[in-house]
């Protein structure tokens, strides 16, 4: 019998991942506040739920992929939420990028009710999710992990167990802090290089063959902003949220992040403008705009 999956949240990552589960033989019921997104998965054979409660009841695994901590807590703890309706012995798998303390609260509530819990934040880009090539950072005990592993293998290619519940969220915080800070450095570097008269292909090829090579320039930007595409796979607004999680964690633990603080300020300024809803690779457009130059493009 196919594993029954209740999938809540069909955003840039949730939509392709739920679609891949349906394509690969899972019994999927989806819920999102955007009915058109549910329709897209239903076209593949998934069922549409009328509520969070309906998506949760009868599922072996309930998956949540939501924007922020308060969304997860509302969906999980609400009167019509997951914990009020999930079956005993089922597993809640939260794949959102949220405050690790929020993850801890959800994990504790699941444990108190005899519900399995895993936090499995997602690595890589929306284009990887579409191809079923996502990476997952998993916080789980062995029993819960065994139940969700087949789903992870259907949605991605790389799984890292980071420790017990809560450790996946903590790893995602560090991962995103590193990549988002790097993206700003890359944007500034390419703006400076363009101002100095360097060709973008030259900058790409040279840095690809030194230790300056990085995923923000050589994977993200060549696929997005350097093609003139800033349709959001991951918005600057959400990037600011993720950097804020890192800054808050650092403050709580008395860790100084001076370079990260500067990057955080840039994202904060960008989200106060039209850049808020653009893909975060548009940091390059912002840096070039401030330098008074045209944004370079690659074929």
H helices, E strands: number in the chain? 15, 9
Measured CA to CA, the distance from residue 202 to residue 187 in angstroms comes to 15
Which position among 4, 24, 172, 227 bears the catalytic label? 172
The DSSP call for residue 90 is -
Cβ neighbours of residue 243 closer than 8 Å, sequence gap 6 or more: 176, 177, 180, 181, 260, 263, 264, 267
Q: Is 278 labeled as catalytic in the residue annotation? A: no
Angle at 108 between CA 55 and CA 29, to 5 degrees: 10
Q: 200-208 vs 167-195: helix axis angle to the nearest 10?
A: 130
- Distances 52 to 6, 12, 19, 77, 191 between C-alpha atoms, Å: 9, 19, 18, 11, 46
Sign of the alpha-carbon dihedral angle for 33, 35, 37, 39:
positive
Q: Token pair of 209, please?
A: 């063959």
Instruction: Name the residues annotated as catalytic.
Output: 172
């Amino acid at each position: 019998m196919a594993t029954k999956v209740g999938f809540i949240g069909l955003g840039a990552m949730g939509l392709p991942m739920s679609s891949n589960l349906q394509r690969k033989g899972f019994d999927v019921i989806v819920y999102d506040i955007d009915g058109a997104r549910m329709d897209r998965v239903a076209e593949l054979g998934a069922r549409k739920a009328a509520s969070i409660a309906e998506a949760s009841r009868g599922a072996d695994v309930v998956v949540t992929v939501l924007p922020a901590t308060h969304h997860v807590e509302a969906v999980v703890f609400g009167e019509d939420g997951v914990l009020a309706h999930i079956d005993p012995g089922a597993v809640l798998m939260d794949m959102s990028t949220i405050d690790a303390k929020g993850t801890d609260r959800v994990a504790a509530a699941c444990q108190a009710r005899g519900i399995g819990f895993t936090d499995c934040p997602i690595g890589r880009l929306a284009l990887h999710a579409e191809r079923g090539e996502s990476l997952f950072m998993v916080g789980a005990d062995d029993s819960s992990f065994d139940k969700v592993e087949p789903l992870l293998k259907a949605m991605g290619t790389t799984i890292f167990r980071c420790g017990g519940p809560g450790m996946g969220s903590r790893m995602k915080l560090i991962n995103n802090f590193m990549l988002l800070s790097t993206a700003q450095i890359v944007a500034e570097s390419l703006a400076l290089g363009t101002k100095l008269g360097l060709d973008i292909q030259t900058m790409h090829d040279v840095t690809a063959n030194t230790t300056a090579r990085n995923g923000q320039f050589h994977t993200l930007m060549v696929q997005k902003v350097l093609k003139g595409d800033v349709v959001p796979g991951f918005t600057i607004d959400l990037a600011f949220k993720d950097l804020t999680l890192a800054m808050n964690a650092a403050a709580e633990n008395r860790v100084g992040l001076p370079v990260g603080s500067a990057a955080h300020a840039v994202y904060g300024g960008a989200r106060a403008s039209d850049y808020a809803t653009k893909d975060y690779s548009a940091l390059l457009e912002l840096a070039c705009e401030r330098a008074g130059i045209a944004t370079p493009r690659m074929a």
